[in-house]
Amino acid sequence: MDNPDNILEVKDLRVEFPYKRKSLKAGNGVSFEMKKGETLGFVGESGCGKSTTAKAVMRLLPEQAQIPSGQIRFQDQDILGLNAEELRKIRGRKIGMIFQDPMTALNPVLTIREQIYEQFIDRNMTRKEKEEEAIRMLEYVGIPDAPQRLREYVYQFSGGMRQRAMIAIALAGHPELLIADEPTTALDVTIQDQIIKLLNRLKKEMGMSVLLITHDLGVISQMSDRVAVMYAGYIVEYADTLQVFAHPSHPYTCGLMEALPGKSRQERPLQAIPGSTPNLEELPAGCPFAERCGYCEGKCTEELPELQEIAEGHYSRCHFPEKLKNYRGLIEL
């Protein structure tokens, strides 16, 4: 590790999927680091590379996925260099993951008890100890009548309880890093708020680091210490969450804010970002956001901007970040 305070370091990660005679570039030189005990949020539209990056960290990409370059280091271990047995000792134990849809992530033919017990395979525990720990984990995430619910199947749980059960399973291995992939997407607003508060509490009590994947800036504002904005497989902005919300430095980040309901700037109507994300099969030579950007100039379509530090700890992949210096963010510092 370059920094002993970091738990995860990703450098120049490139992920490609063969498609016909070309490659879909889902990750384009992604670099970031996570400190121990912090929450790093990845935000962006669907198809921007957020989940691909998270699955690369867990080595859960499909077989056809290719990683032509890059490094993923977790606690001084080279994730990309580990064999299957070494990975098994990390997944679910040192790194846990909450998937987007509990109905597809949880096994419908196993009870919740059996799925929690899978996290205890390498632990020297008696049956009674496993039962007590499984009950404790369900109670820990707020599931009432835990002894009874352990015997039930996922279809017997409501949407919010399924998400809590999946969190309990992910935490049963006592991971040091938790990857949460869209943990609130399919839930109503009330249950979303409960899950956000639950994850924030568990992070503090267990001392975990959390890698949060979402398309919702509102969730980012409530959970993240720092945020990485992704677009077309690139990180286009990267900074402390408060800094991004106060002084966004990339037009795409501004576009996400303009489309956020309930923002403080009531005098402005909601604005959708025009157009759509570029085809990952044929990314443009210049900035991938150029065709949708209201600040675009000739250079933007010809040359890909570098991710540059525009202020201490604040990075932007834009040729002209100074154009946004007077942009009013969602908060004031």
Structural domains in the chain, CATH included, are: 6-94+181-190+209-324 (3.40.50.300)
pLDDT at 262: 62
- CA-angle at 36, arms to 94 and 317, nearest 5°: 110
How does the average pLDDT of the chain come out, rounded?
Answer: 91
pLDDT at 128 over 80: yes
pLDDT at 9: 97
Q: What is the pLDDT of residues 268-313, one digit of tens each?
A: 677 889 999 998 888 999 999 999 999 999 999 999 999 999 999 9
For residue 307, which amino acid is it?
L
pLDDT at 266: 56
- CA-angle at 225, arms to 222 and 228, nearest 5°: 100
pLDDT at 178: 95
pLDDT at 1: 67
For residue 108, which amino acid is it?
P
Q: What is the pLDDT of residues 22-64, one digit of tens each?
A: 889 999 999 999 999 999 999 999 989 999 999 999 999 999 9
pLDDT at 2: 74
pLDDT at 183: 87
pLDDT at 8 over 90: yes
Taking residues 153-162, what's their average pLDDT? 91
- Tell which residue, 221, 255, 257, 258, has the closest CA to residue 240: 221
CB-based burial label for 21 (10 Å; 0-12, 13-18, 19+): exposed
